[in-house]
Amino acid sequence: MPFRASLSFTADEQPRLVGRERIRLLEAVAREGSISAAARAVGITYKAAWDAVSAMNNLFGEPVVEAQAGGRKGGGARLSPAGRRVVAGFERIEGELARIMRSLEPELSGTGISAANLVWSFLMRTSARNALRGTVDAILEDAISAEVALKVADATTIYAIVTRESVRELGLFPGREAVALIKAPFVLVARPDDASRTSARNQICGTLVRREPGGINTELTLDIGGGKTLTAVVTSRSAEALGLAVGDRACGLFDAAHVILAVD
């Protein structure tokens, strides 16, 4: 199956700020000589183009596009030296990633792990204690929001509530792989009989395999099947009240709005 590497730049905890689409915009500015013409060339609005340029200026700390005065048609725009370096650097890094991925693919053949997943998993850094890879099973949308069902194991599905715009931005569709990120303090723990009496959209049951007590909080880790675990951080007083021991059945409960979705 043909594939190519895809590179993106971001800053702090902001969404992706620079990917192939925005590099195409910079290339169009260099080619067309104005932001409005570049926007038309790549099929976006003038406002979207300005917003993209502003976001890149903030990310890289200096203008990537600069005004160009004069000419028969008035002022225009061109890439700044920083903008040219961004485009060249992006192309070089993306090309190197593609070369590395092509060399890895034969070695991973038959393992169920793709080169894209391997590289992305190595590079991903997140403060979320739980990062569970799965496959989008279904998407239910209304005028504003969407509920995404992500199957992370044969008998385990995680539900996430995101905006419809996020579904489009992430390119989500049934069959697409994604990663669910859930912070451990967002996960409540209950015995199976009690879990069914809650309104939590996600009720992921499994076996308690680790209990790490602390002075204030206790970390509980459940084996939820498919070689995957779900970790919760609850108060030590709550953990004592539950009376759970390693080997007991328990359920992790969390709201669908507390699930963040990420894609390669």
**CATH number reported for the structural domain that contains residue 46 in this entry:** 1.10.10.10
Domain span at 206: 182-255
Is the same domain home to 85 and 200?
no
Q: What is the dihedral of CA 30, 32, 36, 39, to 10 degrees?
A: -80
pLDDT of 13 strictly over 50: no
- The mean pLDDT value for 228-257 works out to 92
Count: domains in the chain = 2
pLDDT at 1: 39
Residues in CB range of 22: below 8 A, 6 or more apart: 52, 55, 56
Evaluate whether residue 149 is within a structural domain.
no
262: its two tokens: 């990420």
pLDDT at 95: 76
Share of the chain above pLDDT 70, in %: 78
pLDDT of 2 strictly over 50: no
Q: Quote the Cα angle for 56-84-99, to 5°.
A: 90
Task: Give 39 or 108, the one with higher predicted confidence.
Answer: 39
Point out the least confidently predicted range of 42-46, 72-76, 168-172, 208-212.
72-76
CA distances (Å), origin 64, targets 2, 56, 59, 145, 184: 32, 7, 10, 34, 39
CATH number (domain holding residue 236): 2.40.50.100
Evaluate whether residue 49 is within a structural domain.
yes
pLDDT of 4 strictly over 90: no
- The mean pLDDT value for 193-208 works out to 88
- The mean pLDDT value for 184-190 works out to 91
Evaluate whether residue 140 is within a structural domain.
no
pLDDT, tens only, 82-118: 899 988 888 888 777 677 666 666 665 665 655 555 5
Strand 202-213 and strand 249-254: the pairing is: antiparallel
Is the same domain home to 189 and 118?
no
Residues in CB range of 127: below 8 A, 6 or more apart: 183
